[in-house]
């Protein structure tokens, strides 16, 4: 499986992520064209810089002639520039009386800009999800509804560019999964629109719930809200460098150059190393992947609802769902519900289980899964076509007719289901051995 690994030893921000993508081979021209399609008066600038001995790509967003900068430097530099009608400090062109540089936007307006851009639907979805994650984190921290959140920082043009280009670049990288190291969030405090905040800021920490984080020697903001939101949406797991080949490497530079620490984000692209399963004298490759396992004990729920929960779970991307009868406290019979899922689908499945069941707690753990490669072959029977599901690479280790195909044929032709399945297997073996 082709994956991308993010080394976040110096944190992550939107511009660092874009720099790493371009350094790893994503065409800079693709990002330039994307910015032009947004039509918000922004452009990109690319340069090569050195950070503590490592050469990296630096991507800067230029908005109405101004280059973006770390937000604490921005708010400090413009502290005396005056305030806008909302009480927020004006900056740049605004401070000089121009109205070309908006002071902020609400989520609905930002999602409208993304929806109207002529980019792929997958990129639109990813970019919208990142901004929704930002909005939900801000809303929770400030105790307001997400529609009321005023993005006076992360809603600025440079963040819109960072997020939309991140979605486009991630898609262009052509990987199936992003994995990240634990994140160095930095330390100290930062000046922002709400005043002096601890690092990580409340919104950033909210976005990084469940992710492994730490604070190193650098007492600056290393993970920005935009970087945290990108991680929350795009990254499916956190671990030390997995077993993988390395085909491409990209270094994205941060704005600051720290003494003794390379302020870069490293992106590695390659294939996961497959494990193998033995069958006789031969070995067959199996894919190794991380999955999330969600479990809940149900002892006061109408059994009819469990079937519905299973259907909804599959519609939300569950890999498998099963139940086991259990004996619970006070000798009450109950049901153990288990859902297997991709790590990126864990949160929505967890929310669904809380919403649709009566459980008060859900256990979640991550485990490795080894899976044989699978494919389908069409088998023609006297009643019609049946898909044969085959597991294994080369010589089949497992095979079985697709149940729904056999069920449909049995119903349409008034043939016993077991007869259809037996005939499909016989035809497959004849075809394979013939």
Same-domain check for residues 378 and 345: no
CA distance 70 to 221: 9
* Shared domain check, 63 and 39: yes
Q: d(Cα 355, Cα 403) in Å, to the nearest integer? A: 31
Q: Is residue 385 part of a domain?
A: yes
Task: Single out the residue of 261, 257, 154, 273 nearest to residue 203, CA to CA.
Answer: 154
What secondary structure, in 3-state letters, does 171-224 show?
A: HHHCCCEEEECCEECECCEEEECCEEEECCCHHHHHHCCCCCEECCCCCCECEC
Tell whether 310 and 425 lie within a shared domain.
Answer: no
What's the pLDDT score for residue 284?
Answer: 60
Q: Considering the domain boundaries, does residue 285 fall inside one?
A: no
Q: Where is the domain boundary, 371, 386, 412?
A: 371
Within a domain: 277? no
Element (H, E) at 413: helix 403-413
For residue 390, is it within any domain? yes
Q: Are 216 and 186 in contact (CB under 8 A)?
A: yes
Judge if 392 and 343 occupy the same domain: no
Q: Are residues 52 and 190 part of one domain?
A: yes
Residues in the chain: 434
Q: Which residues pair with 384 in a beta bridge?
A: 381
* Predicted model pTM: 0.63
Do both 361 and 413 map to the same domain? no
CATH of the domain at 317: 3.30.70.1380
- For residue 85, the SS3 value is coil
Do 419 and 349 share a domain, yes or no? no
Residues 386 and 364 in one domain: no
**170 lies in the same domain as 191:** yes
User: What are the average pLDDT values for consecutive 10-residue runs of the chain, which has 434 residues?
Assistant: 94 97 97 93 94 96 78 52 36 34 70 91 93 88 73 67 96 93 93 82 92 93 95 91 91 94 96 64 67 93 92 94 92 93 91 95 90 85 93 74 95 96 93 79
The answer to whether residues 70 and 147 belong to one domain is yes
Question: pLDDT value at position 99?
Answer: 36
Contact between residue 284 and residue 32 where contact means Cβ atoms under 8 Å apart: no
Of 271, 302, 323, the domain-final residue: 271
Task: Tell me whether residue 195 is in a domain.
Answer: yes
Residues 225 and 201: beta-carbon distance below 8 Å: yes
CATH number of domain containing 393: 3.10.20.300
Residue 296 lies in a domain: yes
What residues are paired with 82 via a beta bridge?
Answer: none
- Look at residues 239, 271, 303 and tell me which one is the last residue of a structural domain: 271
**Which residue range(s) make up the domain with 51?**
2-271
Considering its fold, how many domains does the chain have in total? 3
Tell me whether residue 161 is in a domain: yes
Q: Quick one: pLDDT at residue 190?
A: 85
pLDDT digits (tens, 9 = 90+) for 24-59: 999 999 999 999 999 888 999 999 999 999 999 999
Q: Is residue 280 part of a domain?
A: no
**Is 336 found in the same domain as 212?**
no
Dist. CA 122–CA 312, nearest whole Å: 22
Residue 85 CB-density burial (10 A; 0-12 exposed, 13-18 middle, 19+ buried): exposed
Instruction: Judge if 359 and 335 occupy the same domain.
Output: yes
What pLDDT is stored for residue 108 in this prediction? 86
Q: Is the dihedral of CA 348, 116, 176, 395 positive or negative?
A: positive
């Amino acid at each position: 499986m082709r994956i991308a690994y993010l080394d976040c030893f110096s944190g992550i921000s939107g511009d660092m992520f874009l720099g790493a993508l371009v350094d790893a081979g994503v065409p800079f021209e693709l990002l330039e064209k994307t910015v032009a399609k947004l039509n918000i008066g922004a452009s990109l600038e690319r340069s090569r810089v050195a950070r503590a001995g490592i050469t990296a790509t630096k991507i800067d967003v230029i908005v109405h002639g101004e280059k973006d900068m770390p937000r604490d430097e921005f708010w400090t530099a413009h502290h005396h520039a005056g305030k806008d009608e909302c009480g927020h400090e004006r900056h740049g062109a605004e401070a000089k009386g121009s109205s070309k540089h908006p002071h902020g936007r609400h989520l609905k307006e930002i999602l409208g800009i993304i929806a109207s851009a002529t980019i792929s639907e997958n990129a639109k979805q990813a970019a919208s999800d990142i901004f929704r994650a930002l909005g939900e984190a801000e809303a929770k921290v400030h105790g307001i509804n997400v529609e009321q959140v005023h993005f006076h920082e992360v809603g600025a043009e440079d963040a819109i560019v960072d997020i939309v280009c991140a979605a486009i670049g991630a898609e262009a990288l052509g990987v199936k999964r992003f994995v990240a190291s634990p994140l160095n969030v930095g330390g100290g405090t930062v000046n922002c629109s709400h005043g002096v905040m601890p690092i990580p800021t409340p919104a950033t920490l909210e976005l990084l719930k469940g992710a492994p984080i730490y604070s190193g020697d650098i007492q600056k903001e290393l993970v920005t809200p935009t970087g945290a939101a990108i991680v929350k949406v795009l990254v499916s797991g956190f671990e030390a460098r997995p077993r993988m080949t390395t085909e491409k490497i990209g270094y994205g530079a941060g704005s600051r150059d720290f003494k003794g620490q390379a302020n870069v984000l490293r992106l590695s692209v390659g294939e996961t190393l497959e494990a193998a399963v033995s069958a006789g004298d031969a070995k067959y490759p199996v894919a190794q992947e991380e999955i999330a396992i969600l479990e809940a004990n149900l002892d006061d729920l109408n059994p009819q609802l469990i079937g519905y929960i299973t259907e909804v779970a599959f519609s939300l991307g569950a890999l498998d769902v099963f139940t086991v009868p259990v004996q619970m406290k006070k000798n009450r019979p109950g049901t153990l519900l288990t859902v297997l899922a991709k790590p990126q689908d864990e949160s929505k499945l967890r929310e669904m289980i809380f919403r649709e069941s009566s459980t008060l707690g859900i256990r979640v753990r991550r485990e490795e899964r080894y899976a044989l490669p699978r494919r389908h072959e069409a088998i023609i029977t006297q009643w019609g076509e049946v898909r044969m599901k085959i597991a294994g690479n080369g010589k089949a280790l497992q095979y079985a007719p697709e149940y729904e195909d056999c069920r449909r044929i049995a119903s349409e032709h008034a043939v016993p289901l077991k007869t259809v399945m037996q005939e499909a297997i016989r035809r497959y073996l004849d075809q394979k051995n013939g």
